[in-house]
Amino acid sequence: MADSFLLNGKNASFEPGQTILEAAGNNGITIPTLCHLKGTTPTGACRICLVEVAGARTLMAACSTPVSTGMDVRTDTDRVHQSRKLVVELLLSSGRHDCMVCEANGDCRLQDLAYFYGIKEPRFKQADEFYPVEDRNPFIVRDFSRCILCGRCVQACNEVVVNRAISLGYRGAETKIVTGGDKAYDESDCVFCGQCVQACPVGALTEKKAVGLARTWETRKIRTTCPYCGVGCQMWLHVKDGRITKTTAVEDAEPNRGRLCIKGRFGYDFLYSGERLKTPLIRENGNFREASWDEALDLVAAKFKDTIDRFGPDSVAGVSCARSLNEDSYQMQKLFRAVFGTNNIDHCART
Ligand code: SF4
Ligand code: SF4
Ligand code: SF4
């Protein structure tokens, strides 16, 4: 049976082991956070989720404080809001937050919080020196001037994809997110899954191919299944004017639960390649020439027939493609088994 505690003066239930953040969410109270990444170890890094707990001298981080029976928690007091606003002001001052030219504009939790607290101008002297932008790889742009050091990218890499390619490096004002030995992404153990980009709550990590293509409010999200392999990862296509601007993983959906690999996340632009084949090609004397579908299929059928006539049915084999529908794969094996008379069939996703 669930235990109870006091949440903003009302009785609320919680399950043993839940944090204040989780229990409040289950009771319809959203506590803002910048560093919390669902399913990973809480770090309490951003201090946005601070709440008042009766009897505690200081405000407590809701993401890392477990609830206990009878605890009296307040999430909406002046003291809480003053503290959160101060954190937002400090974060805004510690970076270069020129939203108008930022790819995250309209999809940024820091911007949302600044708007919520009515912050119109910097309260503190802004930092003026930053680590240089890193955009030498084809997929991810790192802009350290927008990094709020929330650590979500590190949690995503270490605990979600378990690749351990990035961590927090240096100390104090020098702190930065580093890939092994403070190298560039493309010189590190990074496999370019892009999970850190999906986890970044601001514009510090962005998709390189999406730069300048669309503002978030100009796109509509279309849910689909990744076409690359047989796993069937669930993904969103962010589409503007019929063109995909980027893809993200669907959170909380099986089988990938918010993850994608490099192909699913960054490999969509083959759609727009001028090198895509639009007609069948037949090789003659070492060169390809365009052909109609009828001509190409007749040629394939004749070659199969000739090979089987001369060497028997087991001289041919079929490999189905993971991008094919189940129905197409079924038809393929039926063709080979029932028509050609061989069990030599396979599927590329099996290996
Ligand atoms: S990271 Fe957010 S707050 Fe900073 S410039 Fe970009 S949109 Fe604005
Ligand atoms: S792209 Fe993937 S592997 Fe590379 S740093 Fe980000 S989360 Fe880690
Ligand atoms: S790069 Fe993004 S996710 Fe990583 S620490 Fe900076 S702001 Fe947070």
What is the set of domains in the chain, with CATH numbers? 3-76 (3.10.20.740), 214-276 (2.20.25.90), 281-350 (no CATH)
**Model pLDDT for residues 68-87, shown as the tens digit of each residue:** 999 999 999 999 999 999 99
Q: Give me the pLDDT at residue 16, please.
A: 93
Beta partners for residue 50, in sequence order: 61
**Do residues 24 and 30 lie in contact, with contact meaning Cβ atoms separated by under 8 Å?**
yes
Could you tell which of 202, 215, 217 is best to mutate to test the pocket of ligand 1, judged by most ligand atoms within 8 Å of the CB?
202
Tell me the ligand closest to 153's alpha carbon: 3
Mean pLDDT of the chain: 95
- Band of pLDDT at residue 343, cut at 50, 70 and 90: very high
Cβ of 60 below 6 Å from ligand 3: no
Distance from C-alpha of 36 to C-alpha of 46, rounded to nearest angstrom: 8
Q: Which atom of ligand 2 is nearest to the CA of 179?
A: 5
Q: What is the pTM of this model?
A: 0.88
pLDDT at position 34: 97
Question: Could you tell me the two tokens for 170?
Answer: 């240096």
- Can you give the C-alpha Rg of the chain in angstroms? 27
Do 327 and 316 contact (CB within 8 A), yes or no? no
Give the rounded distance of the alpha carbon of 146 from its chain centre.
18
- Residue 301 CB burial class (10 angstroms; 0-12, 13-18, ≥19): exposed
- Per DSSP bridges, beta strands 281-284 and 243-249 are unpaired
What amino acid occupies position 211? V
Q: Which amino acid, one-letter code, is at 160?
A: V
Return all residues near 8 (Cβ < 8 A) that are at least 6 apart.
29, 73, 74, 75, 76
* Distance separating alpha carbons of residues 57 and 59, to the nearest angstrom: 7
Atom of ligand 1 nearest to the CA of 105: 7
d(CA 33, CA 167): 20
CB 88 near ligand 1, within 6 Å: no
Cβ of residue 111 lying under 6 Å from some atom of ligand 1: yes
Q: What single DSSP character describes residue 152?
A: H
pLDDT in tens, 85-129: 999 999 999 999 999 999 999 999 999 999 999 998 888 998 889
> Tens digits of per-residue pLDDT, 217-240?
999 999 999 988 878 899 999 999
Q: How far apart are CA 142 and CA 226, in angstroms?
A: 26
Region of 293 (left: φ > 0; alpha: ψ -120 to 50; beta: rest) is alpha
Between the CA of 34 and the centroid of ligand 3 the distance, in Å, is: 9
- How far is 278 from 268, CA to CA, in rounded Å? 17
Long-range contacts of 247-253 (CB under 8 A, 24+ apart): 248/198, 249/198, 250/223, 251/38
Q: What is the pLDDT of residues 170-220, one digit of tens each?
A: 999 899 999 988 999 999 999 999 999 999 999 999 999 999 999 999 999
Compute the distance between CA of residue 337 and CA of residue 343 in angstroms, rounded to an integer: 6
C-beta of 157 in contact with ligand 2 (< 6 A): yes
Length of the chain: 351
- Answer whether residue 284 shows pLDDT above 80: yes
- 250-263 core/surface letters (b: 16 or more CB in 10 A; e: else): beeeeebebbbbeb
Two structure tokens written together for 56? 């505690």
Contacts of 316 (CB under 8 A, 6+ apart): 304, 307, 308, 336, 340, 342, 344
State the DSSP code for 277: -
pLDDT above 70 for 28: yes
157 CA → ligand 2 middle, Å: 5
